[in-house]
Amino acid sequence: MLVLYNAMKNPVTYVQGPPGTGKTQTLFNVVISCYFNQRTTLITTMNNKPVDDIIKKIQFTSKYGDIPFPFLRLGNMDVVKKATLRIREIYETDFYGKPNMEKIEQIKANTRDKNAKLSQMLTNYEKRKSLIQQEEFFQKIRESTTDNNSRLNAAIEELSKEIKEIPLVSDDQIMSLFQPASEDSRYIQYLYFSSLAHLLKLRNPEYSRLKEIVYIDDDNERASEFTKWTRIDENMKLLSDAFPIIFSTNISSHNLGSGDFTFDTVIMDEAGQCNLALSLIPISKAKSLLLVGDEDQLQPVVVLLASTNKKLMEKYKISDHYNYCQASIISAMKNEDKVSKKITLRYHYRCAKNIIGFSNRFFYDDKLIIPPSQENGYLKFFDCKNNARTELSNQALEEATGIVEYLKKYGVEDTVVITPFVNQATLINELLAKEHIKNIKAATIHSVQGNEAKTVLLSAAISPRSAKRTLNWLNSHKEIVNVAISRAKKNFILFGDKESFTRLSTDKDSIWNQLIRYTESQGNIEVIKPLPNMNIGYSNGSINEEEFFKTLSHIASIHNAIKVERNILLKDVFPDDKELQNRKLEFDSIISIKKSMFSGYVRTFAFEFQGGEHIFDESRASCDKEKELICQKHGIQFFAIPNSYAKEYTFFIALLKKYAHEAMSEGEQLSLF
């Protein structure tokens, strides 16, 4: 309620939205309030997911059918193509009924009376809170001095008197005046007919050029012409009159009029991830601004080199508050803006009590309010003795193996696997593919921001061979821990090497050491023993196999007649071979070739990537020989590829040319290579 009140009243409002505190619902309420108050509104952020999450909530149904709420989703060219088709669909829709403006205004007037009472309560609440803060400040000053300052005493007495004159406002009083829109039949009626009033404006003569544009058949031309049209201020006034609510991304909002066109309200979601430069584009179009984000979650991702950034800051004497590589738009503005209202969403609804308890204690100073009815969840720490060596940095095979075994035992439903490092995600996904575990992929932290799952598995991937600078980087990005643990609704499972963290850490109370201790204290501990001292990269599922697959995939990306598949079961390649149906033999990679423009892809080559174990392990060697004989039986060329050829791009081009051309005509050869 305070967010709604301040967003409607103040030129700038800041909202901190910790995880699981209903940020999306709050923003939805603001959007609906802006619409009711006839304010044109732009909702924007750095990427698509946050705005799309809000759009999913804009679904109202009336007795006349679904309400055609007058919003438009804009963005890149693909998004604009869909938006123009939606406008075309509106032109072709025969809506039920006609807007009765007198009735619309009557419903609004009745709602305003109720809102006036609510507004007065919130005004009293804000005023009382401000006076209490002033009184506490003056009392602290008085306590810090031995002088009996009569003027200070008088000021405190006056504040105390003012506070008593302002009535207390309870949650029950606020809620008595609040009714969800979906339960208010008159408001639903207002939404339906006011939406029609906006959309039917599209049929007025001044929108004739827009109508011509949306009926252009060619997608690219239609999107291009629409973008040109929206860059003109007068056209944007027309568009925002028909669609007063517009969703976009920060960078795409530069297409919404020139520098002179403005929206009544601009709402920027995930402002803690929005960099300074791109954020200024939508801000320049705002009469009033609502910034919503959490500085304790993920920070902006920028591509500017730190060394270049430092030189530019020194050259132009830029303060740290405007450090492009470190500051988000919300942190930079809050540092400089000492006047505007700052609100924190405090009621947490997502995670089990002892899971969010870590974030609450270490990031939010125990200010989050967790319902007493919220139950505790399950936490477990797998202490992995990361011994195995891998060819890539930031990988821990013991952790990856432990995660795969956990998923084999408990399943993958409503589960996510998170790690700070791309290489560790790749290793985990290799092992998942090898075990034929589907419907789950390990991902880095940035890919799960804003998501949630019943179970979260977090792999730290720090080993005895990790560089201290890697751990320093990890500890300096504390928000990674906050985002990871706060995705888990019921179960949080941590995989890490406690000894490595202890040995490499200069700070024994670093965020990761504290996370390990917290997880141990709240849950269970299990030790995963080290694997034999071995190098990963010489066996099935290895890093070299990954490079080999990348090489083949690169060839396929250039030559459209080639398709590459990985870890394919022989029974799927030869479905008519009954002898293979109950066997789990698989090829490392399969190449299919499209011999002509009008033919389908035909599986032509099978590859087995051979590490040392294929030479010294008789069962592996026998298995490879069996695969070769099966390929001969079915007319597919089989290749056993040594480790050292993983990245030999030109070798594979030559090999494919030789064997492919033997079975193809000259014309087909030219189309393939």
What is the CATH classification number for the domain harbouring 221? 3.40.50.300
Q: pLDDT band at 495, cuts 50/70/90?
A: very high
Q: Find the angle CA(351)-CA(354)-CA(357) to the nearest 5 degrees.
A: 85
Q: Which of 534, 538, 536 is nearest to 620 (CA)?
A: 538
d(CA 639, CA 662): 16
Same domain, 306 and 385: no
- Please indicate, yes or no, if residue 243 is contained in any of the structural domains: yes
- Please indicate, yes or no, if residue 369 is contained in any of the structural domains: no
Neighbours of 465 (CB within 10 A): 15
For residues 50 and 21, the answer to whether their CB atoms sit within 8 Å is: no
d(CA 214, CA 230): 13
pTM beyond 0.85: the answer is no
Q: Which of 344, 363, 384 is the last residue of a domain?
A: 344
Same domain, 493 and 572: no
d(CA 520, CA 282): 45
pLDDT of residue 600: 80
Same domain, 301 and 336: yes
Q: Which of 521, 549, 582 is the last residue of a domain?
A: 521
Same domain, 457 and 558: no
The pair phi, psi for residue 504, each rounded to 5°, is -85, -20
Is pLDDT above 70 for 179?
A: no
Give the least confident one: 244-248, 399-403, 538-542, 547-551.
538-542
SS3 content of the chain, % helix, strand, coil (to 5): 50, 15, 30
d(CA 545, CA 640): 12
Give the least confident one: 27-41, 125-139, 517-531.
125-139
Q: Which of 490, 419, 485 is nearest to 454 (CA)?
A: 490
Same domain, 485 and 561: no
Same domain, 7 and 49: yes
Express each pLDDT in 79-114 by its tens digit. Answer: 999 999 999 999 999 888 777 777 777 777 776 666
For residues 489 and 454, the answer to whether their CB atoms sit within 8 Å is: yes
d(CA 639, CA 199): 63
> Which residues have CB under 8 Å from 136's CB, separation 6+?
none
Q: Tell me which H or E stretch contains 288.
A: strand 286-293
Share of the chain above pLDDT 90, in %: 43
Mean pLDDT of 393-402: 93
d(CA 330, CA 290): 10
Express each pLDDT in 560-598 by its tens digit. Answer: 778 888 888 889 899 999 889 888 888 888 888 877 666
What is the Cβ-side half-sphere exposure of residue 439, based on CA atoms within 13 angstroms?
A: 7
Express each pLDDT in 197-255 by its tens digit. Answer: 999 999 999 999 999 999 999 999 999 999 999 999 999 999 999 999 999 999 999 99
Give strand pairing partners of 605.
591, 637
- Please indicate, yes or no, if residue 363 is contained in any of the structural domains: no
Q: Which of 600, 670, 599, 590 is nearest to 637 (CA)?
A: 590
- Residue 248: which domain range? 1-100+188-344
d(CA 251, CA 269): 14
Same domain, 515 and 421: yes
- Please indicate, yes or no, if residue 138 is contained in any of the structural domains: no
> Which residues have CB under 8 Å from 121's CB, separation 6+?
169, 173, 174, 177
- Please indicate, yes or no, if residue 535 is contained in any of the structural domains: no
Please give the C-alpha separations between residue 502 and each of 48, 404, 498, in angstroms, as whole numbers.
39, 25, 6
Q: Which of 320, 344, 368 is the last residue of a domain?
A: 344
Type of residue numbered 60: F
d(CA 607, CA 513): 44
316-320, 368-372, 426-430, 543-547 — most confident range: 426-430
- Please indicate, yes or no, if residue 132 is contained in any of the structural domains: no
Mean pLDDT of 450-455: 87
Same domain, 560 and 500: no
pLDDT of residue 534: 45
Type of residue numbered 662: E
Q: Considering its fold, how many domains does the chain have in total?
A: 3
- Please indicate, yes or no, if residue 511 is contained in any of the structural domains: yes
Same domain, 261 and 398: no
d(CA 28, CA 25): 5
Same domain, 381 and 502: yes
- Please indicate, yes or no, if residue 209 is contained in any of the structural domains: yes
Per-residue DSSP letter, 438? -
For residues 263 and 40, the answer to whether their CB atoms sit within 8 Å is: yes
Express each pLDDT in 314-369 by its tens digit. Answer: 999 998 888 888 889 999 999 888 888 888 898 898 999 999 999 999 999 888 99
Structure-token pair, residue 387: 């011994």
Same domain, 410 and 303: no
Same domain, 463 and 599: no
Q: pLDDT band at 382, cuts 50/70/90?
A: very high
Check residues 339 and 137 and name the one with the higher pLDDT. 339
Express each pLDDT in 608-642 by its tens digit. Answer: 876 544 444 567 778 888 888 999 899 888 877 76
